[in-house]
């Protein structure tokens, strides 16, 4: 009789009743059905696993597992996470900045608990640089959510040292130090702004990594360390931390749907949103580096990942910076981030196209031009569909927030990156369309718009307060003006007014980069590189052409300007945005002129012939393709942090379009 008792509702109540006729057969049928379902579930799990995320016993967070990982998919059956009791759930660390009541910022909080003790840093200066970082750096690509960081910072640092701190996914000692290794660049104190001081915080962040569980804050910290090391000139270390950040994001499965775990109480509902935001931040950072450094993008996949969540309530929080004399306005941070992610999805395709223009790839010219036209159309559609609050017009330009300005600068940068490799090609008409792609006109339009936006930023906020990414767009614009200056002297008749205007624009780019250089050492080095290209590459070519035609040297003063040294950097220091090996300036240029060993000439000639005669995609157009360029002379300059020729003409030898640089070909064309 006891064997037939049933435990019900986990109590001591025993249920016993006679078995109804037919009940046994029904139970046997249910058992067989359960067994069948179990077989199907096991088969599905072993053959095509659909549940990729698993709870990690060590960190308590989610990890991504593949088909070959020995595991079982019963994670959502685990016990729900015990919610930590928080005495003051709405409390947050308050930054001591101007306009804040000094009685509010919790003076008793141990704010410097995990910061390097050897650095003298007062709380007011600490809070000031964090505030500037949140307003002018992290707002671009949404690298930190300030409200969440400050909330978790309060929770972590208000706990006595003797007690175990609460779980804080948006704050960790490692992230705190990593942010300061970047944000101290905004300090007005030379000692704190010095790269050596910033390195102290980067080193502290690395040491704290050992005691940090892998979560969202760890991903963000590694990304900040990548930026810090890149800016001070340590390219290899920078690449390593960017790679670790991206790889850790993949390991945590940030792009995968975590809804089942939230519904089971294993993670917070809000964590779904946080994971999505962090995934897209990593993606945007990856694409921006791919566009700038010209490397293959191997970061997070995003095929099935929902676009970033737009938080309308958060977007209505006022953005305000008193020195700008602009009234408070909605920040639209998440909306800008959404549009940035959409833009960089196009930017990723542009990067892959431009970076794969190699002789070994042997692309079809007509197909390449069709891709260019397709991406150009995507960019135009993106711009046309931009929400009105994010658009910039003549009326609202002077009151635009930094995030809106950077969004439009990035749009122009993507357009310039797409069309610059084809700068020397004549305007082409797309097959079965009246649309014409004029690469020169589009490059100039993008470059001029970049300068207009940067000038607005300079007049409203000053170039002391910029995200480091801005220098890439300014440098790219400068290369377009360099090409236009060459073009002005390549024809039989020198276009003196155009030449002078383009040289002035180049100097404007250099001036902007040098102003940024008071904050970012990498921007100063980038400005030095642009000045070096102007002095050591353009100057000999232009002077020779002008002298050949008997033209007065009106531009000598512009071309002879002295190249400034980057402050705070030793002459022999291995600089780094990006820090390459250090061949001499002239030999690096010459190495770009001749096809690399192993490249066969026929594919190059074949592609050139296709570009001359490409009726399949475009109208007929004839373009000269000189085989080589005359050697240039000049002092050897070493700028290991940038490859100017990769940025200037990424496919320089591939398209063989060197007539702008070739003084001999220009002189031959000028002879009667």
Nearest to 255 by CA among 311, 297, 301, 215: 301
Same domain, 262 and 350: no
Average pLDDT over residues 623-642: 32
What percent of the chain has pLDDT above 70?
Answer: 64
Does pLDDT of 232 surpass 90? Answer: yes
Dist CA 68 CA 265 (whole Å):
27
Same domain, 286 and 349: no
Write out pLDDT tens, residues 213-225: 788 999 999 999 9
Per-residue confidence band for 657, with pLDDT thresholds at 50, 70 and 90: very low
Same domain, 602 and 651: yes
Query: DSSP string spanning 347-364?
Result: HHHHHHHHHT--GGG---
**Low-confidence winner among 123-127, 161-165, 497-501, 609-613 (lowest mean pLDDT):** 609-613
Q: Is residue 7 part of a domain?
A: no
Dist CA 647 CA 577 (whole Å):
13
Per-residue confidence band for 268, with pLDDT thresholds at 50, 70 and 90: confident
Average pLDDT over residues 310-314: 96
- Give the pair of three-digit tokens for residue 486: 């060459």
**Low-confidence winner among 155-169, 416-430, 514-528 (lowest mean pLDDT):** 416-430
pLDDT of the residue at 563: 40
Dist CA 346 CA 340 (whole Å):
10
Residue 399 DSSP symbol: G
Dist CA 384 CA 342 (whole Å):
13
Average pLDDT over residues 342-367: 82
Q: Is residue 84 part of a domain?
A: no
Q: Residue 330 forms beta bridges with which residues?
A: 318
Does pLDDT of 386 surpass 80? Answer: yes
Same domain, 295 and 211: yes
pLDDT of the residue at 367: 82
Same domain, 271 and 395: no
Q: Is residue 317 part of a domain?
A: no
Q: Is residue 104 part of a domain?
A: no
Per-residue confidence band for 542, with pLDDT thresholds at 50, 70 and 90: confident
Residues spanned by the domain of 271: 123-309
**Helical H runs in 146-234?**
146-157, 173-183, 190-193, 195-208, 216-232
Does pLDDT of 670 surpass 50? Answer: no
Write out pLDDT tens, residues 32-44: 555 555 666 666 5
Does pLDDT of 547 surpass 50? Answer: yes
Dist CA 505 CA 494 (whole Å):
18
Average pLDDT over residues 2-16: 45
- In our burial notation (b when 16+ CB lie closer than 10 A, e otherwise), range 9-21 reads eeeeeeeeeeeee
Same domain, 372 and 299: no
Q: Is residue 506 part of a domain?
A: yes
Q: Which residue has the tokens 């945007």?
A: 284
Query: Comparing 369 with 222, which gets the higher pLDDT?
Result: 222
How many CB atoms are closer than 10 A to CB 477?
29
pLDDT of the residue at 311: 97
Query: Comparing 199 with 548, which gets the higher pLDDT?
Result: 199
Same domain, 259 and 380: no
The whole-chain average pLDDT of the chain stands at 75
Dist CA 85 CA 493 (whole Å):
79
Write out pLDDT tens, residues 447-506: 999 999 999 999 999 999 999 999 999 999 999 999 999 988 887 788 889 999 999 999
pLDDT of the residue at 108: 77
Q: Is residue 659 part of a domain?
A: yes
pLDDT of the residue at 565: 41
Same domain, 347 and 289: no
Q: Specify whether the CB–CB gap between 651 and 529 falls below 8 A.
A: no
Per-residue confidence band for 590, with pLDDT thresholds at 50, 70 and 90: very low
Same domain, 570 and 439: yes
Write out pLDDT tens, residues 388-398: 999 999 999 99
Task: Say what the pTM is.
Answer: 0.76
Same domain, 283 and 426: no
Does pLDDT of 190 surpass 70? Answer: yes
Write out pLDDT tens, residues 424-461: 776 666 555 556 778 999 999 999 999 999 999 999 99
Does pLDDT of 247 surpass 80? Answer: yes
- Give the pair of three-digit tokens for residue 616: 């399949």
Q: How many domains does the chain divide into?
A: 2
Q: Specify whether the CB–CB gap between 468 and 520 falls below 8 A.
A: yes
**Low-confidence winner among 136-140, 582-586, 638-642 (lowest mean pLDDT):** 582-586
Q: Is residue 320 part of a domain?
A: no
Same domain, 303 and 451: no
Average pLDDT over residues 616-623: 28
Same domain, 490 and 622: yes
Q: Is residue 33 part of a domain?
A: no
pLDDT of the residue at 490: 82
């Amino acid at each position: 009789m006891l064997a037939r008792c049933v435990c019900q509702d986990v109590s001591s109540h025993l249920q016993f009743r006679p078995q109804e006729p037919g009940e046994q057969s029904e139970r046997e049928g249910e058992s067989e059905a359960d067994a069948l379902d179990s077989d199907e579930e096991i088969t599905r799990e072993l053959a095509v696993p659909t549940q990729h995320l698993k709870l990690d016993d060590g960190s308590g967070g989610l990890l991504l597992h593949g088909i070959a990982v020995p595991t079982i998919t019963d994670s959502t059956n685990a016990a729900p996470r015990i919610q930590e009791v928080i005495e003051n759930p709405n409390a947050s660390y308050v930054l001591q900045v101007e306009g804040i009541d000094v009685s509010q910022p919790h003076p008793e909080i141990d704010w410097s608990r995990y910061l390097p003790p050897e650095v003298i840093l007062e709380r007011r200066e600490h809070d000031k640089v964090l505030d500037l970082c949140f307003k002018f750096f992290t707002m671009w690509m949404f690298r930190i959510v300030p409200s969440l960081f400050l909330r978790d910072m309060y929770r972590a640092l208000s706990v006595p040292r003797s007690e175990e701190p609460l779980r804080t996914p948006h704050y960790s000692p490692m992230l705190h130090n990593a942010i300061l290794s970047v944000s101290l660049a905004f300090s007005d104190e030379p000692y704190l702004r010095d790269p050596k001081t910033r390195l102290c915080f980067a080193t502290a962040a690395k040491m704290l990594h050992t005691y940090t569980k892998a979560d969202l804050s760890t991903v963000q910290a590694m990304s900040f360390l990548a930026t810090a090391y890149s800016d001070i000139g340590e390219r290899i270390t920078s690449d390593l931390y960017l790679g670790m950040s991206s790889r850790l994001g993949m390991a945590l499965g940030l792009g995968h749907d975590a809804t089942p775990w939230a519904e089971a109480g294993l993670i917070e509902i809000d964590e779904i949103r946080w994971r999505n935001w962090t995934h897209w931040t990593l993606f945007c950072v990856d694409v921006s580096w791919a566009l700038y450094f010209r490397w293959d993008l191997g970061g997070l996949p995003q095929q099935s990942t929902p676009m970033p969540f737009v938080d309308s309530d958060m977007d209505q929080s006022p953005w305000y910076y008193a020195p700008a004399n602009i009234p408070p306005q909605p920040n639209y941070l998440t909306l800008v981030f959404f549009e940035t992610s959409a833009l960089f999805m196009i930017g990723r395709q542009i990067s892959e196209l431009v970076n794969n223009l190699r002789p070994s790839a042997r692309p079809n010219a007509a197909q390449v031009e069709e891709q260019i036209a397709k991406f150009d159309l995507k960019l135009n559609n993106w711009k046309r569909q931009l929400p009105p609050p994010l658009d910039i017009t003549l009326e609202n330009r002077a009151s635009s927030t930094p995030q809106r300005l950077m969004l439009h600068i990035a749009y122009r940068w993507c357009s310039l990156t797409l069309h610059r490799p084809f700068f020397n090609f004549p305007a082409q008409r797309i097959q079965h369309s009246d649309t014409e792609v004029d690469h020169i006109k589009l490059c100039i339009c993008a470059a001029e718009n970049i300068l207009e936006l940067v000038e607005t930023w300079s007049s409203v906020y000053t170039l002391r307060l910029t995200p480091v990414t801005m220098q890439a767009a300014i440098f790219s614009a400068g290369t377009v003006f360099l090409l236009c200056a060459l073009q002005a002297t390549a024809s039989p008749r020198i276009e003196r007014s155009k030449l002078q205007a383009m040289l002035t624009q180049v100097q404007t780019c250099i001036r902007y980069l040098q102003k940024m250089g008071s904050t970012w050492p990498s921007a100063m080095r980038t400005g030095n590189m642009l000045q070096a290209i102007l002095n050591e590459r353009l100057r000999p070519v232009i002077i020779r052409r002008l002298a050949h035609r008997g033209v007065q040297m009106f531009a000598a003063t512009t071309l002879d300007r002295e190249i400034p040294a980057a402050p705070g950097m030793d002459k022999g220091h291995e600089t780094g945005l990006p820090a390459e090996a250090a061949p001499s300036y002239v030999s690096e240029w010459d190495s770009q002129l001749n096809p690399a060993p192993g490249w066969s000439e026929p594919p190059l000639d074949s592609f050139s012939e296709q570009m001359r005669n490409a009726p399949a995609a475009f109208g007929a157009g004839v373009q000269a393709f000189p085989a080589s360029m005359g050697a240039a002379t000049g002092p050897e300059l070493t700028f290991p942090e940038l490859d100017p020729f990769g940025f200037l003409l990424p496919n320089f030898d591939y398209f063989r379009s060197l007539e702008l640089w070739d003084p001999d070909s220009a002189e031959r064309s000028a002879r009667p």
